[in-house]
Each structure stands twice: as C-alpha cells, then as structure tokens.
A and B are shown apart, each in its own frame.
Chain A
Amino acid sequence: MSATTESGPARQPVRPPAADRAGKRRRKGRGATRVHPALYLFPLPALAVYIVFFAIPTLQAVQYSTTDWDGFSADYENVGLGNFERLATNDDLFTNALSNNLKFMIVVVVFQTLLGLLLAIFLVRNTTGSLLLRGLFFFPTILSSVSVAYIWKFVYDPNFGLANTVLEAVGLEQFTSSYLGNDAAAIYWVALTQIWFHAGQMMVIFIAGLQMVPSELYEAAEIDGAGKWRQFTSITWPMIAPATAIVVAYTTIQSFKAFDLILGLSGNPPRHSLDILSTRIYSTFTNSQFGYAAAESLVFMAFIAAIVIVQRRLLKLTQKDV
C-alpha cells in the first residue's frame, strides 16, 4: 500500500522481460511434448538398487523398531513405541553416546573448518611451495580410517607413544597424559585425530572458493584504504560463504560417521567415554537387541536429517547474504 501511495497505482500491466517470456515458452513447450516412454526405463537400475538397499532396509528398520526381536529368533513381541520410550527416558548409554557425539561434532566442525580455512588462505596462490604444502596437508585424507586410527593409537599410547615421548624429551613430563584413557578428555583427542584426518580436504574446498573471488574486489578495496582484516571480513568471508556451508555440512555428517576411527582407536566395544551414536548402535546389535538397535538407528537417522535440514536453511541464508 505504501508503495502504491508513493509511486502511484500501476496503470497498465507490466510486460515481463523478453528473456522471461522465452523461458515460459520453453517450459510450456516441454510440458506439452511427449518423451519416448523407453527413456523412463533408464532410472530403473538405480531405482532398483535404491529400493533394495535403502528403501526396504529403512522400512524394515521401522518394523523392527517396534519389536523386541533379538536378530535370530523366530519369536518376538511387538512392543509398540516402547523402544523409543526407553531411549528417551531410561537409557544412559544412549544419552552418553549422544552427548559424546555432540561434543565431538562441535569441536570437529569448529576447528576443522577454521584450520581448513587458515590453510587455504595461506596456500591459495598456485606457487610451487603452496602446491607441495597442499599435497602434504591433503595426504591424510587419502588414508583409510583404520590406518589413521592405528597411526594415532601409536601417538597416544602413554608408554611408548610419540606424544608422551616428545613431551618427556623436552622436559614437559608434567603434561604427559593417558590421552584416550582420560575419560574427561578422550573424545577431544579423537576429535583432534579427525581434524588432522580431514582438514586438508576442507582446505581444498576453501581454496576452490577463494580462487573464485574476483581480484578486482581486493584491488578496489585497497584503493579505498581497506586493510587486510577488513578485506577478509568484507570480501573474502561473504564470498566464500557457500564453500563454508558445504564444509560445515560435510564435516557435521562426517562427525557422525566416525565409527571406524573410534573402533580403531579404542577397540570394540569402545569405553563409555568414547562411545558415539554409531558405535552404540553397533554395540546394541552385537548384544542381540536387534529391535532396540533399529529404534536407535531411526532416532540417529532423524537426528542427522534434522541437522542437515537446519544446515540447508543456513546455506540458503548465507547464499542470500552473498
């Protein structure tokens, strides 16, 4: 209403721009044409794989989650929502795993993103030195999780491990630790391993984002007298927001899938201080509680879905800002 008052009422319909009209024609045309039906057969193999390996197991998990099935018996009882009720109200092991997973996720997301960005900023130029260092920092990414776990198991071993040996060698014995044996800190030591493992990968995504920023923007900013920090906050950061969103989403999902890293570092079953959701579900399956494990899996799936939805919204917001 205020717009009408200020600029006056529109007297005649506004014609859309020519490009829009052409687009509409194309869309209308596509809707009217018929595609050869054989083309619809092409997605069938992928669809079949999806149905067999994802849709059906998911549906079955829903079915199992309402039972007390042990995974092998012919008999089972329907327990309705009992498994979910127990999960929500009477399972400290699951709550502990959830808590560990959240701590792990927060530390990994924050520090892996920051480290990836820092490395990218320092190594964005395509010089020989930068290329070599990029390769070096990216190297851990190509290792398998189990190899990484064994490398870091050696680092963290309190008796013969690298960390304590180095600390003792430089006279810092007071800082030696049992690392993974320290319940209060264990999950953060695993987070450190995860950051080492994947920061190089995030660096590559950030470098791709940084190289998309037009250099003219920095030149203009320099002419306007903006310092390095101002250039970063006003140009670099907003321009790499999409890359940041991808890194954060990817890192979050990764932190829920650290299953093999945890089992490699702590053994199976992991001690309570290192139990995360995926390892808890595995332990529950191992303990012949198939129905309950299925309920845990569904909650786990819902949890990841919720986080991904939130992150997608954040991604849209950041893109809008750009």
Chain B
Amino acid sequence: MTQRSSGIGNSITRRRALQLLGLGGIATVSAVSSACAGPGSGEGGEQQGGSGGDELATGGPVEGEISFAHWRAEDQDVLEELFAQFTEEYPDASVSQDISPSNDYQSSALQRIRSGNIGDLFVAFRGAQFVDMVNAGLYADLSGTDVVDLYQPDLIEAGAQDGTQYGLPYQLVFNQPVTNLDMLESVGITEPPPDWDSFLAMCEDLLAADVIPMAWPGGEIGNAGHLFNCMVMNNAPSDDMCVKIETGEYKCTDDWFLRTLEQYAELRPYFQSNATGTAVEPAQQLFAEGQAAIMVTGSFHIAAARELGADFPMGMLAPITVSADEMKYEGIHNATFILGVNTASDNQAAAMELLRFLSAPEPASTYANGTAQHLTVTDVEYENEDLATNEEWLQKQTLLAPRFQFTDLDIRNAAEQACIDVVGGDSPEQAAEAAQQIIDQRVDA
C-alpha cells in the first residue's frame, strides 16, 4: 500500500472520506428538512396557518416601501397617479405595485403574499381565494377600524367571515353582458328583454340584421363562466345554489340545471361561430368593432372595449331565463378586489394608511372614473360616461355572483365546462352527467 508522506489527510482513505460526506449529507438533509415548512411543522407549537384576524398594527410611522399586490394591470396607471398623491402626503413612504395576470394571481398569490415579501396591502377574489387567504391567516382583522365606515355596509359583506371584517371589497362589478345600445336600438330594443322568449327574439332580430348577437369567450373557462351567473340566477331553486352543488345537495343532473343547459343549447346560433375556441380578447374585438351587439362578460371589460376603439354608447342586460312573472333577479353584481392588510407584513401601519387613502371618496372617485368601475366606497362621484349610464344598475335587483360561491375550483370548472360543452355540441344530459361525475368524486374525496 502506498502511503502519502505528509498532509492531514494521511489517515483518511477514500472510503472514509465518502462516509464522512454521506454523514454530512444526512445531517444537512435533516437540518434543512426541519427548517423547511411542512404540514404542521411550526416551531414550538407555532401555527403555520390558521384562521385569519391577527391583530393589526395601526400605529407607527408611515414610511418605507409598501407593496401592493393585485391583478389589475389595466389599472396600473391610475393607481400610479394615486400613489403619487399618497407619497406627496407621506414623503418617507413609497408604493410599488406587484401585478400578476388574474389567472396567475388566483393560482399563486396566496403563497407569495404569505411569505411577506410582497403584498403589504393586497387583494383577493371573492370566493375560494378569499376563503383560503382568511384560513391561511393572511388578512389582518379590520373590524372596528375607521376605514370600514367609508364603505357601504351591505356591499362589504363579502369581505367578512364569522362576524369579522377581514377585507374590504373595493370594486362593484356587474358580471353580465355589455351591450351596444345603438345596435340594439336599430332592432327596436330599448329596454332589456323581460323574459327568455323575448331575449331569444332579440337575438333573432340581431341575426336577421346581419349582426352577431353575442360575442362569448367560450375558449376561456374563466371568462366564459360569467354568463353562468345570469343563466342560473332565476333558474335555481335557491340563492345558494352553487354552495349546494358543492355540498352534493343539488346535482347538475337536477331539472333546474338541465334546463339551464338546454337554454345554453338554444343560444348556440346566436354566439359567434366557433365560439368555444374564442379567447376573451377576440370577443372584445368583435364587440368593439361593431361586429357583435353584445359582449358576454361584464362591466369590467367596458374599459378594454373602449381601448379597442368602441365609441358607441354601452349598456348592460342579463338574459332572463324565466317568464317575466317568475323573474327574481334582473342581473348580477359582484363585490370583489377584496383589499386587506397582510399579517406577515412588517410595514402594516403604512399599508393601513394606504388602505385608508384608497378608501377616501376623492381618491376612490379618481380610481372609479379612471378605470370605469363602480366602487363599494360611499360618496364616490361617477363622472365617467359609462359609469354614469350604468349607474341605474346600482338600484336594480341583482344577485351577488353565484359562481363565486364555489370554493372548490375543480367543481366550479366542472359545472361551467358543462355549459361550454353544450354550446360545443354535447347534449345537456351528456354534459350534466359528465360534470356530476367529477363533482361526485370531489364531494366524496
């Protein structure tokens, strides 16, 4: 055997060195494993998650960088303008926007905001995301703070859970078709059709006038699903229909759901051709160019249609799927963009001040008019022409968008996919059974 003459490694063989490396590796794995968060791995009984509502640090200086996490890229400029006003008032503070596309925000915002690296002030979609974020302990408890008083109480219920006001829904949107009023007038429609037959008759008249009655983004399940709200609002036997689908109490194979699917089938000729392959942008384009009379998404796309060059007056209507005397709701609204202060933020005082600023009537009016969104904030002055035209909807009998009652996204997608499949040619029974099978599997899980 060869012996080396010097060096500390004299007595260490390759085998020994590998053994040491192996032991070191195991130690590293153990150390890092225990350091990484896992199910219930909180140190010393510390909770990794849990229900929200941690105490809010409202006091303290308004300084440092405040991160605002949201999904509204189209609002970026208006928000920048507002944040410039805020930092004028608080020169030691700065605000940065962390914007993700809405679908990505739905998928990954919880984990990103939970880290505390972004989203001192953040927002959530109503429904599954808000519920998860509250359960994950992201929302600081806003109950009893002065900022809550700046909102219309009946419109911020979507931001409360178990009597605690975790978040403040900022936007009041209408998830119902947007119309080209000139085009409807050209076929003699000045008021929303009061029942299903007259709705179909209106579509027929538009078709006869060589116009696509409805541009529907059937290629994107998220945007296609807005129509679902209107289609079920008067058909379902109760207002919590989607909760009951999720609990298994209602089935997609029930008569009311089948009737809804049959009505989707009746709408087939009135959508643009190949509607199930159309994304939201081409649907907006068809509407903005005047090729289609109705854009089947919601008020939140009015600004986008204007950007695309639409210069005609716009209104809204929702298909009434029952007879006029059976009608319960005229349309759909949603209180969303639920603002909240991050419990993991180390700059809560500044985030709270920013929330207070956005909730004041003047900045809120700037936001509303700049983005063509109605808000839940009180005393907002709507000067934007589209907002003014559609202000009447604030007084109408509308249902809080039922699709956001779903807290299981697989179940929601299954129910909404059934509607798309019917427009694509499947029979209502076939689509309903396929959807129900998936839902049953999720309910059983």
Report if A209 contacts B (CB, 8 A). Answer: no
* Interface contact B277-A63, CB-CB below 8 Å: no
Report if B47 contacts A (CB, 8 A). Answer: yes
Report if A197 contacts B (CB, 8 A). Answer: no
* Interface contact B42-A37, CB-CB below 8 Å: no
* Interface contact A73-B33, CB-CB below 8 Å: no
Of B36, B114, B132, B421, which one neighbours A288 at CB under 8 angstroms? Answer: B132
Contact stretch, chosen from B139-147, B184-192, B409-417: B409-417
Task: Provide the residues of chain B in CB contact with A47, threshold 8 Å.
Answer: 21, 25
* Interface contact A159-B282, CB-CB below 8 Å: yes
Distance of A86 Cα from B106 Cα, bound (Å): 26
Q: Which residues of chain A in 12-70 are interfacial with respect to chain B, using CB atoms and an 8 Å cutoff?
A: 32-38, 40, 44, 47-48, 51-52, 55-56, 59-60, 63-64, 67, 69-70
Report if A139 contacts B (CB, 8 A). Answer: no
Report if B48 contacts A (CB, 8 A). Answer: yes
Distance of A40 Cα from B12 Cα, bound (Å): 11
Q: A157-B278, A158-B277 given as contacts; is B218 within 8 A of A181 (CB)? A: yes
Task: Provide the residues of chain A in CB contact with B395, threshold 8 Å.
Answer: none
Distance of A267 Cα from B416 Cα, bound (Å): 15
Q: Which residues of chain B in 268-282 are interfacial with respect to chain A, using CB atoms and an 8 Å cutoff?
A: 272-279, 282
Task: Provide the residues of chain A in CB contact with B417, threshold 8 Å.
Answer: 271-272
Residue in A71, A158, A285, A290 whose Cβ sees the most chain B Cβ within 10 Å = A158
* Interface contact B408-A287, CB-CB below 8 Å: yes
Of A60, A69, A267, A286, which one neighbours B33 at CB under 8 angstroms? Answer: A60
Of B49, B275, B441, which one neighbours A73 at CB under 8 angstroms? Answer: B49
A247-273 interface code vs B (CB 8 A; 1 in, 0 out): 000000000000000000011110110
Q: A32-B1, A93-B410, A158-B273 given as contacts; is B40 within 8 A of A183 (CB)? A: no
* Interface contact A177-B18, CB-CB below 8 Å: no
Distance of A282 Cα from B444 Cα, bound (Å): 21
Number of interface residues of B (CB under 8 A): 68
Min C-beta distance of B135 to chain A, whole Å = 7
- Who on chain B is nearest to A156 by CB? B277
Min C-beta distance of A167 to chain B, whole Å = 12
- Who on chain A is nearest to B133 by CB? A72
* Interface contact B274-A72, CB-CB below 8 Å: no
Of A32, A51, A75, A157, which one neighbours B279 at CB under 8 angstroms? Answer: A157
* Interface contact A267-B220, CB-CB below 8 Å: yes
Q: Which residues of chain A in 198-231 are interfacial with respect to chain B, using CB atoms and an 8 Å cutoff?
A: none
Min C-beta distance of A157 to chain B, whole Å = 5
Report if A74 contacts B (CB, 8 A). Answer: yes
* Interface contact A286-B107, CB-CB below 8 Å: yes
Number of interface residues of A (CB under 8 A): 64
Distance of A48 Cα from B28 Cα, bound (Å): 8
* Interface contact A72-B278, CB-CB below 8 Å: no
Of A72, A178, A288, which one neighbours B276 at CB under 8 angstroms? Answer: A178
Of A32, A44, A69, A183, which one neighbours B424 at CB under 8 angstroms? Answer: A183
Min C-beta distance of A137 to chain B, whole Å = 28
Task: Provide the residues of chain B in CB contact with A268, threshold 8 Å.
Answer: 103-104, 106-107, 222
Of A40, A55, A181, which one neighbours B219 at CB under 8 angstroms? Answer: A181
Task: Provide the residues of chain B in CB contact with A69, threshold 8 Å.
Answer: 39-40
Q: A159-B285, A268-B104 given as contacts; is B29 within 8 A of A59 (CB)? A: yes
Task: Provide the residues of chain B in CB contact with A40, threshold 8 Å.
Answer: 14, 17-18, 21
Distance of A136 Cα from B409 Cα, bound (Å): 42
Task: Provide the residues of chain B in CB contact with A147, threshold 8 Å.
Answer: none
Task: Provide the residues of chain B in CB contact with A175, threshold 8 Å.
Answer: none
Q: A90-B445, A93-B438, A183-B424 given as contacts; is B17 within 8 A of A271 (CB)? A: no
Report if A6 contacts B (CB, 8 A). Answer: no
- Who on chain B is nearest to A44 by CB? B21
Q: Which residues of chain B in 25-55 are interfacial with respect to chain A, using CB atoms and an 8 Å cutoff?
A: 25, 28-29, 32-33, 36, 38-40, 42, 47-50
Task: Provide the residues of chain B in CB contact with A286, threshold 8 Å.
Answer: 106-108, 409
* Interface contact A76-B40, CB-CB below 8 Å: yes
Report if B93 contacts A (CB, 8 A). Answer: no
Report if A321 contacts B (CB, 8 A). Answer: no
Q: A51-B29, A181-B424, A291-B39 given as contacts; is B136 within 8 A of A72 (CB)? A: yes
Task: Provide the residues of chain A in CB contact with B103, threshold 8 Å.
Answer: 267-269
Report if B420 contacts A (CB, 8 A). Answer: yes
- Who on chain B is nearest to A77 by CB? B39
Residue in B28, B29, B277, B438 whose Cβ sees the most chain A Cβ within 10 Å = B277
- Who on chain A is nearest to B411 by CB? A287
Distance of A71 Cα from B132 Cα, bound (Å): 10
- Who on chain A is nearest to B28 by CB? A51
Q: A32-B1, A268-B104 given as contacts; is B36 within 8 A of A56 (CB)? A: yes
Task: Provide the residues of chain A in CB contact with B163, threshold 8 Å.
Answer: none
Task: Provide the residues of chain B in CB contact with A93, threshold 8 Å.
Answer: 410, 438, 441
* Interface contact B136-A73, CB-CB below 8 Å: yes
* Interface contact B36-A60, CB-CB below 8 Å: yes
Task: Provide the residues of chain B in CB contact with A267, threshold 8 Å.
Answer: 103, 219-222, 279
Contact stretch, chosen from B2-10, B175-183, B238-246, B374-382: B2-10
Q: A34-B13, A269-B221 are in contact. List 9 more A-B contacts (CB 8 A).
A: A44-B21, A60-B38, A63-B38, A72-B114, A158-B278, A159-B274, A268-B222, A269-B413, A290-B39
| Interface positions of B (Cβ within 8 A of A) | 1-2, 4, 7-9, 12-14, 17-18, 21, 25, 28-29, 32-33, 36, 38-40, 42, 47-50, 103-104, 106-108, 110-111, 114, 128, 132, 135-137, 218-222, 272-279, 282, 285-286, 408-410, 413, 417, 420-421, 424, 437-438, 441, 444-445
8 A-B pairs closest in CB distance: A181-B277, A178-B277, A178-B274, A158-B274, A181-B276, A37-B9, A268-B103, A72-B136
